[in-house]
Amino acid sequence: MVQKISDSVAARWTVLIAVSLTMMCGYFMCDVMSPLKTLLQEIMGWDSVEYGVFSSSYGWLNVILLMLIVGGVILDKKGARFTGVFATGVMLIGAVLKYYGIEFIDPTIRTTLPFFGEMRLQLLVTSLGYAIFAFGYETMGITATKIIVRWFKGKEMALALGMQVAFARLGTMLAMVAPIPIYNMFGKLSTPILFCTVLLLFGFAIFMVFVVMDRKLDKERAQEALADDEKFRFSDILLIFRNRGFWYIAMLCLLFYAAVFPFLKFATEFMIIKFNVNPEYAGIIPGLLPLGTLFLTPLFGGIYDKKGKGATIMLIGTLMLVGVYITFSITGLNHWLVAVAMMIVLGIAFSLVPSAMWPSVAKIIPMERLGSAYALIFWVQNIGLAGVPLVVGIVLDKYGKVGDSYDYTYPVYIFLALCLTSVIFALLLKREDRVKGYGLEKPNIKK
């Protein structure tokens, strides 16, 4: 008897690796500028507000123009193969524009824009590139998540989502650790971006492996007349909006991620200023965060698959993050070992919450609305990812300037406030699960 592709362990893990590698390249590009903040200041003259504007351009298309939601609708209407190819192409266009901005535009040229006023042309072009990249990247993110749920539902779903997040963290870790050595080797700020762009091309090629396999799965499902179940209707969005569990998880996502990814954008400089780490190695300590999550996210995902306790796992993760920022806020604690220890705790927290969060969405929202549901959650999350770096940049510039350096006290309070609020939503979600019986505390693997 010929084995069905939907039952083949090798097939679904091949799909997972192909999609995860594509995402990993995206994550590398997403944060490649973070360790370069101080150099951007020294070489191009960007101040903290300009760096904040660049970081917040992440949300120009996704949040303000609602493109991320458009991406989710495209996914549910056109399917994962089309959307994945489209999104990866968009990421590439954005990456090239970002590279062009840093490599070819003179940082002293200024331009005037209707709402923004006067700004550096280089900042504008680079930010536009980043905004376009972010649209492709986030659309690819929801596509990857939906692909994995489609291939793994009822099987090792949380483990698989955890593995995908692990690959993603590998990309973030590369982004923390590699740019400064690449810059030192070539002496140009644009070379790390070029490096990522070439990797993205590789990611585009590897995605084609998924395209071929998914076509086979579609044929098999069409024979079993399952395909029609997965048709999307616009009214589905309203149904998602009415779901309270969905909003709790979306708010938890917004607050928790806003306390982690935007922090990483400033973490290298924070290590230098608060913990007196040598600038040469300062990227290594934040790089420990993704390193830990690399192994722990699949581990916790596996635990969720077999033992359940998804809502509890998310609550523990948010509480640990609170502990980290309380420690960062204590003035006298500035030995580099404290920074290392806190990065490890942050890594555990940042493994716990995503390992339980993403599979839990699939328990609250049915499959045919999942693309739109992930898109809406990512949209809410993007408000924080785009807004918090801008707020932190402004706060640093206005209240944190100490000569040529910065005092990070207020930014740490901002991050602490975000994760304290995330604890409230983790508690609300746990209660809602008890009331509605979503099964967040139950294992994912069906016996």
Check binding of 381 to ligand L6ULR443 (CB under 6 A): yes
Pick out residues in 338-377 that bind ligand L6ULR443 (CB under 6 A): 354, 358
Binding mask 154-173 for ligand L6ULR443 (x = CB under 6 A): -----------x--x-----
Contacts (CB under 6 A) with ligand L6ULR443, residues 174-203: none
Out of 261, 266, 325, 328, name the contact with ligand L6ULR443 by CB under 6 A. Answer: 261
The window from 4-12, 216-224, 267-275, 378-386 that contacts ligand L6ULR443 (CB under 6 A) reads 378-386
Binding to ligand L6ULR443 (CB under 6 A): which residues in 384-443? 385
Query: Is residue 60 near ligand L6ULR443 by the rule CB under 6 A?
Result: no
Query: CA 359, CA 305: separation in Å to the nearest integer?
Result: 9
Measured from the CB atom, the residue of 141 and 310 that comes closer to ligand L6ULR443 is 141
Q: CB of 376: closest distance to ligand L6ULR443 in angstroms?
A: 12
Closest to ligand L6ULR443 by CB, 5 or 294: 294
Cα–Cα distance for residue pair 270/286, rounded to 1 Å? 10
Query: Of 15, 56, 131, 138, which lies in the binding site for ligand L6ULR443, with binding defined by CB under 6 A?
Result: 138
Dist CA 263 CA 371 (whole Å):
28
CB 97, min distance to ligand L6ULR443, A: 18
Q: Which is nearer to ligand L6ULR443, 107 or 293 (CB)?
A: 293
Q: In whole angstroms, how close is the CB of 35 to ligand L6ULR443 at the nearest point? A: 14
Residues of this chain that interact with ligand L6ULR443 (CB under 6 A) are: 30-31, 138, 141, 165, 168, 257, 261, 354, 358, 378, 381, 385
